Amino acid sequence: MEVTLKDYKTSEKSWWCPGCGDFGVLAAMQKALVNLNIAPHEVAIVAGIGCSGKIGNYINSYNIHVVHGRTLPSALGVKMANRDLLVIAAGGDGDGFAIGMNHFIHAVRRNINVKYIVMDNHIYGLTKGQNSPTSDAGQRVKATPHGNVESPVRPLSLALSAGATFVAQGFSSNQAQLARLIEDAIRHPGFAFVNTLSPCVTYNKINTYDFYKQTLTNLDEDPDYRPDNRGAAIAKVLEKEELVTGLIYRDPSSVPYESAMPGFGKAPLAGRDIALAASDFEELLEHYR
């Protein structure tokens, strides 16, 4: 069956602000799924809290909307229960790098075959414009009228140093590149992280579309850059202060957690008969009597 964009559309109307970068991320995700001809029933979206958390409602697939910061552990659970599903976790910088920070690091090191797409707008948009973990130092908003005194989380550097086997960064305004990066992430055997610079047109007047168009370096246009060297990748994102787009690092020898786990069969748990025979249950109880 040939999949079309219509297959991934829903009837729900978006409440994102006009011009929000998340529209671009949504379109890129849908295009990537269609380009790879993946049927909607083969996809599970696990969405977090925040403006970005509504994205699952606009993609016709399985969709779970979880509590704040728990996007990744929920996605990992879905993948371990049914490894035949393409599991995509989608959330914002607040959801992923504040309360969800520890989950992010452990998801990276476990390398379960889940794809994580972050819509990074450097602000808390849903709660009306407070500084987020990725907000620039000195940024002035209502909650910090004298300027943000905290140093920002650097998602790309964090992922690379934690051992991520696939790291990329896109820009919501560059549809062709972002869709291709998401396709590459889906093909990757293991945890794939795609940070996406997704401007908030309402509350963030610093990290705008014009700002990114003037400052971003597209690694795809650098013939000398090789994304198979972790050390070079770290050096590049540090040199450019993470203002890069493209495939930053991919480990060609990546083995997903579920494939490396002893005794974890290829047949998904969701399709197995896991009922315990009555005799086995009684034998188990005998150990505790």
User: What is the per-residue pLDDT across 182-195, written as a single tens digit (0 to 9) for each?
Assistant: 999 999 999 999 99
Nearest CA to 62 out of 6, 22, 8 is that of 8
**What is the chain's mean pLDDT, rounded?**
93
Is residue 62 within 8 A of residue 44, CB to CB? The reply is: yes
* Rounded-to-integer distance, Cα 92 and Cα 100, Å: 10
pLDDT at residue 287 greater than cutoff 90: no
**At a CB cut-off of 8 Å and minimum separation 6, what does 6 contact?**
none
Amino acid at 129: G
Model-level pTM?
0.92
pLDDT on residue 238: 96
pLDDT-derived band at 137 (thresholds 50, 70, 90) equals: confident
Angle at 138 between CA 132 and CA 143, to 5 degrees: 50
| Portion of the chain with pLDDT greater than 70, in percent | 100
Tokens of 21: 């970068």
CB 89 within 8 A of CB 71: yes
What does the alpha-carbon distance between residue 141 and residue 205 come to, in Å, rounded to a whole number?
A: 10
- The pLDDT, as a whole number, for residue 177 is 98
Q: Does residue 232 carry a pLDDT above 90?
A: yes
Inform me whether the pLDDT recorded for 68 exceeds 80: yes
Token output for 249: 């690092």
HSE-up of 241 (CA within 13 Å, CB side)?
7
What whole-number distance in Å separates Cα of residue 172 and Cα of residue 120? 10
- Binned at pLDDT 50, 70 and 90, residue 143 comes out as confident
CA distances 271 to 138, 259, 262, 265, Å, are 52, 17, 19, 11
How is domain 5-264 classified at the CATH fold level?
Answer: Rossmann fold (3.40.50)
Q: Regarding beta strands 244-250 and 166-171, do their DSSP bridges make them parallel or antiparallel, or are they unpaired?
A: antiparallel
- In this prediction, residue 30 carries a pLDDT of 97
By three-state DSSP, how is residue 287 classified?
coil
Sequence ranges of the domains in the chain: 5-264
CA distance linking residue 187 with residue 283, whole number of Å: 44
pLDDT given at position 126: 80
Confidence band of 46 (pLDDT split at 50, 70, 90)? very high
Confidence of residue 200 (pLDDT cuts 50, 70, 90): very high
The total of other beta-carbon atoms located within 10 Å of residue 190's CB is 25
* Comparison of pLDDT for 1 and 89, the residue scoring more: 89
Number of helices (H), then strands (E), in the chain? 10, 8
Position 166 confidence tier, pLDDT thresholds 50, 70, 90: very high
